[in-house]
Chains A and B, each alone.
Chain A
Amino acid sequence: MKREKHPDLKAVSQSLGMVFIVIGLLGLVPLLVSLFYNEDITPFMAVSVLPLAAGMVITRFYQGEIDLRVKHAAIAAALTYLIAAILGAVPFMYYGMGLLDSVFEAMSGWTTTGLTMIADVEAMPRSLLFWRSFMQWLGGVGVIVLMLVILAGTGSAAEKLYQAEARKDRIKPRLLSTVRLIWWIYLIYSLAGILLYYLAGMTVFDAVNHSLSMLSTGGFSTRNLNIESFGSFGIELVTILIMMLGATNFLVHYKVLTGRRSALFRDLETRSLFLITILGALVLFLKVPSLRASLFQAVSAITTTGSSSIDVTALGEFPKLAMSFMMMVGANTGSTGGGFKIIRFIIVLKLMAWWIKEKLLPEHAVITKKLSGVELTSENLQEPAVFLLLYLFIFSLGTLAFTYMGYPTVDAIFEVVSAQSNVGLSAGITRAGLEPLGKALLIFHMWIGRLEIIPVLVLAESILRIRPKKRPKEIL
């Protein structure tokens, strides 16, 4: 009887059941790692067995064909990251962290942010460190994409879920082939990263962890001082390469790997990524003494990775603001990076340029609105502009809250952008001693940023039923 009454609940639950199963299956990997290092396997048993069991029960209970609408996909995506964050928190709690701190750490992991509540990571067991990196690695390509690969989801339901997790591009005509391909590319790069780090002088454990967290543009490190602790130019160069790989659209990777080398420079978004990185590094170099550090931090910010080779908290206001801007712009669409995304940024710039051009030309002159040879419809144009304003609005609310708590504006801006764009650089606000409200806010920003806002709003609406029954009356 419940099933007929609540088609929404059924559709959402079915998708969530599958998410549980996938997380449970993947939880087996850290379980093996803890076995290998002879560490306590209890927490990872919990992370794998619990969701597996829950997932099995749910999918049994909610069986059959469902009519998954965009709305359901959005709610499922929003809930997925909440559930993943709570499950991911279990090992941290097992090792003695508080609930809020643990959820923060796990949300920071799954959303590939990289802000951390742990002051001394070097004292942590290896299996726990691996769990952090592993969450970021999975989160980089997306939990839902992963689900589609493993459970071979296809059809329009899969399509909607795929899009709800902030993805749009397809490399192959079939969705399943696309997600499989993304994962193959991702695996190859991860292995290449491990090899390169090893050659540059890291231990195997460090190499694995950093390759996972940097390629996913996450930024968790096994060292307290992140990349800075190695003090090696070689490792910094490898990191820069891996971060850039992570921030590039996987469609471009596919083309390059299948022999079309020129695709790298023909793609507008990738070219812009390089351009912004170089400009950003030069701008930082105005106030940061070393060009090497400027380049590293510019790459880390624009790719939304959040690793650091210098002490970012000690920087002045100007470089912090410049980095905030880069973090806001973010990486390519269809990459593992977060932020507003370069292509949207380009469209918004074009939008302004066209608007100005229209004002300059004689009345009623028509201009063609093309980007990379593709004509843009008014819908294509409106979406990035509205999204940007919404992004700025949510960002401003968070920043105001932190200035209210007494933090300097520049740090508040930096920290909120870093969370919302899933970067993970910190101006010093994120720490275990932060007020619970501040932690909750940053968790919220990481969550809403990873999902590109809309799914969270849809979820909020369906919980609160804020949709008005009829149009509110308005008079001029």
Chain B
Amino acid sequence: MNGKHHGDLKIILQSLGMILIIIGVLTVIPLLVAAFYNEDLTPFFFVSLIPMVAGMLAVRFIHPDTEFQARHAAIAAALTYLIISFLGAIPFTYYGMGLLDAFFEAMSGWTTTGLTMIADVEVLPRSLLFWRSFMQWLGGVGIIVLLLTILTTGRAGLRLYQAEARKERIKPRLISTARLIWWIYIFYTLVGIFLFFIAGMSTFDAANHSMVALSTGGFSVKNASLGAYNSLEIELVGIFLMLLGGINFFVHYKMLTGDKGFILKDLQVRAMAAILIISTLIIGLTSLSFRDAFFQTVSALTNAGLSTASIAVLDDFSKSILSLLMIIGGSAGSTSGAIKIIRMLIIAKLIYWWIKQTLLPEHAVFSRRLGGIEMNQEVTHEATVFALLYFVILGAGALSLMFLGYSSADSVFEVAAAQGNVGLSAGITGSDLNPFGKIVLIFNMWVGRLEIIPVLVLGQSLFGLRRI
């Protein structure tokens, strides 16, 4: 190893150290919840102490001498999700789960997926249930955004921010943007708790469901998810929160600062509304009741993964429609995952332009705009390549599950749910799943949350795949 590599390692370790400190500090909250409910403090004590000590050591003793580059940020982001999934797994293993299952559960939490290895969540201690929801809530806006709110940063901050699949800035300064996102997020969470409470939930249920719905995570404290309450009001609140989570935070900012009409002008919101209406009609007319159909389409498109009906009993057609929604995903700049609506719009436009080019006389030039903005080659290129990469990884995952003997409809559904960080399940996920299948899904959740590139950068630097 030469000096340059040492520099890379140092700077990555330092940023990981900072992230660990934050995680350690925030775990005080589940610790308090455990204390409040008079439950065992030990697991959360570990989750809090280990990262804090490790983080402080890293920050204290590592003094990087290299400039923080995009590469470092990508590797740090990819490693962050692996490390915090190990940390997040501690309470689960403490309560008797196997390591792989616990790791799966924590990855599903941090990535806001919501697939679960636990067949009966209702017997779990409340502090553990809260821990699941809390991971999703933090994961929703992104661990690294969290880091930025607390620390003041320069270029390094921007790199990390982008590496965690965020691009837009609401305020000119990055730190202000991150803080603003958090304030909006906290505000909505409190509103959600209040609404769920009014609709008839207990305080504990309301707090948990508000966190998982808004973060589009989808863990529930009930085995039957929101279907357990069988209450229209609760379902409506759930839909409202999932939609809030699936909309770009820039739109929220505009709305909250007085520009009420802005939501109707946003292309992604309009596209989302159209997709939801069409797919609700399709599923409502073919298999589920309209009430369940609407809830499930919202849950799939926003990548939340809460459910009011059993997915496993649906026919292949409805499963395929939901799989498509899960692959599309919510708005860019929201808490949801998958390809994102804006990329889909760009691709649709590209196809339209391509046809138009054929129809017009040769060498005719026309402007290529989306939402009034001229689209340059770089943007369209990014959208197409990203979508294609997404399909490749999705296909590989689905083939792996099919190799284990699951049907193609279920395999595609499950992998789409994992990679889009949705968490609806066609019944494949469970503690009896083959370990290979669990690892495949963990990988898809991880890759999906980071929007692929950081994982590839990590792979490249680990295996030295310099030549592409």
Cα(A350)–Cα(B70), bound, Å: 22
Q: Are A359 and B74 in contact (CB under 8 A)?
A: yes
Mask: chain A, 378-390; 1 = CB below 8 Å from B; 0 = not: 1001110110111
- Residues facing A in B423-438 (CB within 8 A) are none
Choose, from B146-154, B199-207, B300-308, B354-362, the stretch at the interface. B354-362
Report, as a range, how many residues of chain B touch the other chain: 35 or more
Expressed in whole angstroms, the minimum distance between the Cβ of A244 and any Cβ of chain B is 25
In the complex, B93 has a CB within 8 A of chain A: no
Cα separation A71 to B359 with both chains bound (whole Å): 6
Is A432 in contact with chain B by the CB < 8 A criterion? no
Tell me whether A168 is interfacial, beta carbon within 8 Å: no
Contact B355 A454 (CB under 8 A): yes
Binary contact readout A437-476 vs B (1 if CB under 8 angstroms, 0 otherwise): 0000000000000000010011001000001000100111
CB distance B403 to A318 under 8 Å?
Answer: yes
Q: Please tell me if B350 contacts chain A, counting CB pairs below 8 Å.
A: yes
Q: Is A321 engaged at the interface, CB distance under 8 Å to the other chain?
A: yes
Residues in chain A near residue B350, CB distance under 8 A: 382, 386, 389
**A321–B82 Cα gap in the complex (Å)?**
31
**Chain A residue at minimum C-beta to C-beta distance from B266:** A476
The distance in angstroms between the C-alpha atoms of A146 and B393, with both chains bound, is 42
Instruction: Decide: B324 and A396 in contact? CB cutoff 8 A.
Output: yes
Q: Does B265 belong to the interface (CB within 8 Å)?
A: yes
Q: Indicate if the CB atoms of B265 and A475 lie closer than 8 Å.
A: yes
Interface string of B303-345 (1 = CB under 8 A from A): 0000000000001110111001000000000000000000000
B358: which of A286, A321, A385, A454 is its contact (CB, 8 Å)?
A454
Q: Choose from A362, A471, A474 the contact partner of B267 (Cβ within 8 Å).
A: A474
- Report whether A359 and B70 are in contact in the complex, using a CB–CB cutoff of 8 Å: yes
Q: Which residues of A contact B351 (CB under 8 A)?
A: 386, 389-390, 393
| Chain A residue with the shortest CB-CB distance to B387 | A389
Q: Which residue of A lies closest to B262 (CB)?
A: A476
* B385 on the A face (CB < 8 A): yes
Q: CA of A201 to CA of B403 in the docked complex: distance in angstroms? A: 38
Q: How far is the CA of A233 from the CA of B267 in the complex (A)?
A: 60
A-B contacts at CB below 8 angstroms, number = 144
Q: Which positions 402-438 of chain B face chain A at CB distance < 8 Å?
A: 402-403, 405, 407-409, 412
B358/A348 in contact, CB under 8 A: no
Query: A410 interface residue, CB < 8 Å from B?
Result: yes
Question: In the complex the two chains form, is A382's CB within 8 Å of B316's CB?
Answer: no
- Nearest CB to that of A71 among chain B residues? B359
B69 on the A face (CB < 8 A): yes
Stretch from B180-188, B291-299, B368-376 at the A interface: B368-376
Interface pick from A51-59, A211-219, A400-408: A400-408
Instruction: Indicate if B468 sits at the interface (CB-CB under 8 A).
Output: yes
- State in angstroms the CA–CA spacing of A401 and B409 once bound together: 14
Instruction: Let me know if A409 and B359 touch, CB within 8 A.
Output: no
A65 proximal to B (CB < 8 A): no
How distant is B435 from chain A, measured CB to nearest CB, in Å? 19
A454: B residues at CB distance < 8 A = 354-355, 358
Give the Cβ gap from B40 to chain A, nearest Cβ, in Å. 44
Chain B residue nearest to A414 (CB atoms) is B408
A321 touches B399 (CB 8 A): yes
Residue B42 interfacial (CB < 8 Å): no
* Interface hits, A222-281 → B, CB 8 Å: none
B161 to chain A, nearest CB (A): 15
- Whether A399 is near chain B, meaning CB under 8 Å from some CB there, is yes
Query: With an 8 A cutoff between CB atoms, is B281 at the interface?
Result: no
Instruction: Let me know if B460 is at the binding interface, CB within 8 A.
Output: yes
**Chain A contacts of B80 at CB under 8 A?**
none
Closest CB-CB distance, A476 to chain B, in whole Å?
Answer: 4
B320 touches A476 (CB 8 A): no
State in angstroms the CA–CA spacing of A227 and B120 once bound together. Answer: 54
The smallest beta-carbon distance between A159 and chain B, in angstroms, is 12
Q: Ordered nearest first, which 8 A-B pairs have the shortest CB separation?
A: A409-B409, A476-B371, A410-B408, A403-B317, A385-B384, A403-B316, A355-B385, A409-B316
Given contacts A360-B468, A399-B320, 8 further A-B contacts (CB under 8 A): A318-B403, A348-B388, A378-B381, A383-B354, A471-B367, A474-B371, A475-B265, A475-B372
List 5 interface pairs A-B (beta carbons < 8 Å), by A numbering. A355-B382, A400-B317, A404-B286, A409-B319, A409-B407
Binding site for B on A (CB under 8 A): 69-71, 74, 286, 317-318, 320-322, 325, 348, 351-357, 359-360, 362-363, 378, 381-383, 385-386, 388-390, 392-393, 396, 399-400, 403-404, 406-410, 412-413, 454, 457-458, 461, 467, 471, 474-476
